[in-house]
Amino acid sequence: MDEKTILAAVQDIFRDNFDDEELVITRETCADDIEDWDSLEQINLLTAIEKKFGLKFQLADVRGLANVGDLLDLIARMTA
Amino acid sequence: MGNVYLITGASSDVGCALIRRLYQPGDLFLAQGAGDLSGLAPLVKEFPGAIHTFDVDLTDPAATDLFIEQVGRIAAPTHLVHLPALRVVNTKFKKFDEERFERDMSVQVRSAVKLCKAFVPAMAKAKRGRVLFMLTSYLLGLPPKNTAAYIMAKSALHGLAKSLAADYAGTGVTVNCVMPSMMETKFLADTSNLIVEASAQANPMGRNARVEDVVPAMAFLLGEEAGFITGVSLPITGGSAL
């Protein structure tokens, strides 16, 4: 799956999760940019991503994620 | 005459472990499950004649009434243990599934009301009885986000337990609850690993609850020696919620 497709799907998940249809994310977007993005929302985002892409994350996989770019790379690796 | 245990949700990991823990020769177990009762099969073999299994969909009021009638024809329960719940799904409130919530309320709450109404008065008359509900540590302090349906159903059950405890305190019937933190059983099949792992890490004891942490506490509350304890909801959390 190419990065553009992954980004589009992840953006839909972010929009749904944070209840903001206008939300635009980039590789650089991080938790500091979205007010409600706390550790619980992080898990909600990740579980929605698991469902969407048919993945199973372990805590160790997701602990070091610093921004959306890291997340996209992780999804790309796991769906490759 | 031994005890007559009526256990709903008995095919769960907790239900099966509880039966194994409680069993004494002469006891009778009336064990309800829905759909998949395979967990009970080894127990039926191990304790021949002591376990009657019932496959009953507790979302169906007519099926529940029929189940109560069948139980009544076999024996009057001395102990009622109510465990069933729909699996927890983490859902944003804007996507709250009302139809599923109704089913959960039927499985957890309406069935408990029917069962207690059918069997607790007879326990009171016999001056002997134990009622035990499965709650959750999510009812202690701030609940986790996105679990409104589960919290509401468990809160209603908590209310029923406290009310029954008050109503029947003078009769020798006790009504208690256990409140385990996240327990690693097949009940978590629909919960992401991430949530399960994060919960274990957040626990002061570094792990989630296990069946063997919870079942002995249940057995205690169901025992003769706990006769002066009623209306209690016992946290079993490793210190994660108090």
pLDDT single digits (tens) B138-172: 999 999 888 999 999 999 999 999 999 999 999 99
In a domain, B226, yes or no: yes
pLDDT at B162: 98
Q: Which residues of B sit within 8 Å Cβ distance of A?
A: 90, 92, 94, 144-146, 192-195, 197-198, 201
Judging contacts by C-beta atoms under 8 Å, the chain B residues touching residue A56 are 193
Output the DSSP codes for chain B.
---EEEEETTTSHHHHHHHHHH--TT-EEEEEESS--GGGHHHHHHSTTTEEEEE--TT-HHHHHHHHHHHHHH---SEEEE---PPP----GGG--HHHHHHHHIIIIIHHHHHHHHHHHHHHHHT-EEEEEE--GGGSSSPPTT-HHHHHHHHHHHHHHHHHHHHHGGGTEEEEEEEE--B-SGGGGGS-HHHHHHHHHHSTTSS-B-HHHHHHHHHHHHSGGGTT--S-EEEESTTS--
| Alpha helices (H) in A20-62, listed in sequence order | 39-53, 59-62
Q: Which helix (H) or strand (E) holds A3?
A: helix A3-17
In a domain, B19, yes or no: yes
Q: Tell me, rounded to whole angstroms, the distance of Cα B211 from its chain centroid.
A: 13
In a domain, B241, yes or no: no
What value does the mean pLDDT take over residues B219-233?
A: 98
Residue B140 belongs to what domain range? 4-236
Give B236→chain A minimum CA distance, Å: 23
Report the distance separating Cα B160 and Cα B158, nearest Å.
Answer: 5
pLDDT at B88: 87
Of the pLDDT bands very low, low, confident and very high (cuts 50, 70, 90), residue B102 is very high
Question: Which residue(s) pair with A20 in the sheet?
Answer: none
Question: Which residue(s) pair with B134 in the sheet?
Answer: B178
What angle do the packed helices B111-126 and B61-74 form, to 10 degrees?
A: 20
Tell me which chain A residue has its CA closest to the CA of residue B144.
A40
- CATH number (domain holding residue B14): 3.40.50.720
Residues 6+ apart with CB under 8 A from A53: A9, A75, A78, A79
Tell me which chain A residue has its CA closest to the CA of residue B195.
A43
pLDDT single digits (tens) A14-52: 999 898 999 999 999 999 999 888 888 888 899 999 999
- Please tell me the pTM assigned to this model: 0.91
Report the distance separating Cα A27 and Cα A6, nearest Å.
Answer: 11
* Domain positions in chain A: 3-79
In a domain, B165, yes or no: yes
Q: Could you give the percent of chain B with pLDDT greater than 90?
A: 89
CB contact under 8 A, B194 and A50: yes
Closest CA to A44 of A27, A62, A32: A62
Fold of A3-79: 1.10.1200
Tell me which chain A residue has its CA closest to the CA of residue B200.
A59
pLDDT single digits (tens) B172-182: 999 999 999 99
CB contact under 8 A, A46 and B198: no
Q: Say which residue the tokens 């992401």 belong to.
A: B192
In a domain, B242, yes or no: no
Q: Count how many domains chain B has.
A: 1
ipTM comes to: 0.73
